[in-house]
Structure 1
Amino acid sequence: MARTSNMLTILLNVLTLLLGILLLTGAIWTSVHPGGATLCEKTFAKPYLFTGIFLVVLAVIGIVGSCYKINSLLYIYSGVLFVMIVGLLAFAIFALVVTNKGIGKVVANQGFKDYRFGDYSKWLQKHVVNEQNWDKIQSCLIDSRVCLSIASAKNLKEFYRTHLTPLESGCCKPPGNCGYLFVNTTYWVPPKSGEIADEPDCKSWSNDQKQLCYDCGSCKVGVLNNLRHLWRGFAVMNFSILVFVVVIYSISCCAIRNNHQEPQPCHI
């Protein structure tokens, strides 16, 4: 029984070690080749680096502790897993709470919904689409070329029948009440009168394909909508990961209980 629990712990930690090395490699490559990485990719480099280091260190502790039956290391390993279990559970609950709102209202005769800041939690508004984070998010939107995926439409009527995601609706066209005239899906001109609605989003619109409405409040709302679905997906996935981590934690506790007092090298 002791041999089985230790071997399972070693096997699972070898897989964790490989994942950590993969994340470290990606983060280091991005840092060494800054010219070949976009700002969006650079933003994720540090989280990948720290996550990779954490997984490598945790895996090494688990492998050494299990292989040589060093209970002191396994206690540390199990303690970290317990903290992970609490953290994963807390994040899953938190993600479900802050993404509970966000419904959207159907706009008549148009293939998309009208989303407003009030449809989303105050926490998301304050901590996600604030001035400090928006430049990075905007860079990611430009790098992903989200607006190039919009199907071509010959006229305004056909365009409004096109299904647009909240992100495409908010970032790739001026708001409907601005009065801009349709030229093509990402090119709109001011009305002939020269007057547009006195709203910040109307003045933020640009026909520069790298600007469009990426700095509009409607674009931020589109990001919040995407983030809401993403976080809810993470919350569901977290419960699956939580079950996996609980299994590893149980195996490590079993290994500690069954280890002999004298450390003995394992034979793989």
Structure 2
Amino acid sequence: MVRTSNMLTTILNVLTLLLGFLLITGAIWTSVHPGSATLCEKTFAKPYLFTGIFLVVLAVLGIVGACYKVNAILYIYSGVLFVMIVGLLVFAIFGLVVTNKRIGKAVSNQGYKEYKFGDYSKWLQKHVVNEKNWDNIKSCLVDSRICMAIAKAKTMEEFYHNHLTPLESGCCKPPEDCNYLFVNNTYWVPPKTGPASDELDCKSWSNDQKQLCFDCGSCKVGVLNNMRHLWRGFAIMNFSILVFVIVIYSISCCAIRNNQEEPQPCHI
């Protein structure tokens, strides 16, 4: 009779196998139907595909090793899980380090804060909002229509009392120092004397709804702020995954001990 640890390992890996197939299916569907997928969705297709393939291979190793009591395969399976545990720990610590720095300056009498690059770690600045990544990030921002979500305001005073997110503040309006004149939520014009500041962001602003301030440094800072919150969320999810992987690793170690007995296949 198959031991409990072998059966648990098999059941957990069947679930992992289904998740892997789901990710692979989603990635293939995005590739086969490119017209119905945004550029942002296409960007995630390959990571989903590779993650799905990895989960399928890992699950097959776990099922075969536990079900047919093949210790050689279970050793490989457990070794991969151990590497995953170490990797998840390193990622958690690294994520806390690179997202720890943030200050932000509240704009006087306004419903939002403005942030600067100095509020974020050098690593995030170098690897997230670099020239290589920015075109894809900008396409995602345009596709998400984040600026269309801003509450309608009839006057500049009403607009400034909106509680804008850092992403909306950085990408959907000119920076405060430019002193642009409000026409509507996403349409601003410079004063007759020209922008009040020589900042590059003042020149980057466009009333084209696909441009706005998406090329501004303030928009990149807004993305960094979003990334910081996302990474904090990932840290919680990472901890949950880490606990799950440790549980599977412990069960697989028990299955290896059980497999010292005469091999006996199980039936699912």
Q: What TM-score results when the alignment is normalised by the length of structure 1?
A: 0.97
Report what 1:5 is aligned to: 5
8 Å CA contact 1:85, 1:242 repeated in 2? yes
% of aligned pairs identical? 82
Q: CA deviation at 1:40?
A: 0.6
8 Å CA contact 1:2, 1:255 repeated in 2? no
Report what 1:244 is aligned to: 244
SS at match of 2:188: strand
Report what 2:100 is aligned to: 100
SS at match of 1:192: coil
Report which stretch shifted further, 190-199 or 66-75: 190-199
Distance 1:142 1:65 in 2: 47
Q: Deviations over 1:224-268 (max 9, x none)?
A: 001001101111221121111100000000000111443221133
SS at match of 1:152: coil
Report what 2:35 is aligned to: 35
The aligned amino acid for 2:185 is T
SS at match of 1:25: helix
Q: CA deviation at 1:108?
A: 0.6
The aligned amino acid for 1:107 is V
Output aligned runs, 1:110-259, within 5 Å: 110-259=110-259
Distance 1:59 1:16 in 2: 6
2:54 counterpart of 1:20: no
8 Å CA contact 2:74, 2:252 repeated in 1? yes
Report what 2:72 is aligned to: 72
Distance 1:93 1:195 in 2: 43
Report what 1:59 is aligned to: 59
Distance 2:214 2:173 in 1: 9
Distance 1:250 1:212 in 2: 53
Q: CA deviation at 1:190?
A: 1.5
Q: CA deviation at 1:2?
A: 5.6
Q: Deviations over 1:202-225 (max 9, x none)?
A: 111000111100010000000000
**Count of residue correspondences:** 268
Report which stretch shifted further, 206-215 or 229-238: 229-238
Q: CA deviation at 1:158?
A: 1.0
Q: CA deviation at 1:197?
A: 2.0
The aligned amino acid for 1:248 is I
Q: What TM-score results when the alignment is normalised by the length of structure 2?
A: 0.97
Unpaired runs of 5+ residues, structure 1, are none
CA RMSD, Structure 1 to Structure 2 (Å): 1.2
Distance 1:97 1:143 in 2: 31
Distance 1:52 1:42 in 2: 16
Q: Deviations over 1:32-56 (max 9, x none)?
A: 1112111111100000000000000
8 Å CA contact 1:2, 1:254 repeated in 2? no
